[in-house]
Amino acid sequence: MNKSYFPQRIADLVLWYTNYKSKLPNYAAELNLTQAEIDSEVAYCEDMINAINLVTTQKGLLKSAFENRTSVLNDNNSKLKEDIARHKTAKFYTQAIGEDLGIVGSSVIFNPDTYKPVVSAALFGGAIRIRFTKKGVNGINLYVRHKGTSNWKAITRLTTSPFEYQPTLAVEGQPEHFEFRAFGVIKDQEIGVASDITEIIFGE
């Protein structure tokens, strides 16, 4: 008996399920199928199509939400900064008021021995988008490994954020679980301690 064929790519599965469920009733006699059996297989296909389409829809909504968040933060933060600057010129403004409102920055001494990068990973347009902040360093060295393994592989040195990383999957259409970490870099030398590990599943 020939091995049954199923597409490996998620994007191809919707077309495959749609074709199968629409044409299966045409071969009811040849395949000795009852109407109940046909209805059952059609329901399987429809459930899987709906599940795939739901992910696609949610990804679109998430992307839109991220874009909206960026726009709102950029616009409103700019306006709020102007208002806060005005508050600080008020006749009865004091340092204590500023500290209570959280609008007075604290002076933090940079220590290269304890510096720890902050790194995040998110799916974005078919790639993994890595974000980080320098906070006193020239850049970061970024490392990756498969979750459950021990060896870290250097990806690249980053000096600007964000960075889009697109790994090659071992099996096309089969998601893989990645972990990332980073070290701060000053004058080509790694300093401080490793960032917290951030992880993501890529290829769904």
d(CA 164, CA 78): 27
pLDDT score, position 107: 63
Residues 30 and 100 in one domain: yes
**Number of domains comprising the chain:** 2
Q: Is residue 81 part of a domain?
A: yes
Residues 15 and 61 in one domain: yes
Domain that holds residue 168: 119-202
| Calculated CA dihedral for residues 62, 64, 65, 69, nearest 10 degrees | 140
Is residue 196's pLDDT more than 70? yes
Which tens digits make up the pLDDT trace of 20-35? 999 999 999 999 999 9
Which tens digits make up the pLDDT trace of 21-70? 999 999 999 999 999 999 999 999 999 999 999 998 998 999 899 999 99
Q: Is residue 14 part of a domain?
A: yes
| Cβ(173)–Cβ(9) below 8 Å | yes
Residues 155 and 103 in one domain: no
Q: Is residue 112 part of a domain?
A: no
Residues 82 and 136 in one domain: no
Residues 99 and 26 in one domain: yes
Which tens digits make up the pLDDT trace of 166-189? 998 988 889 999 999 999 999 999
* Per-residue pLDDT band at 2 (split at 50, 70, 90): low
176, burial (CB in 10 Å: exposed 0-12, middle 13-18, buried 19+):
middle
Q: Which residue has the higher pLDDT, 16 or 11?
A: 16
CATH assignment of the domain containing 132: 2.60.40.10
Q: Is residue 114 part of a domain?
A: no
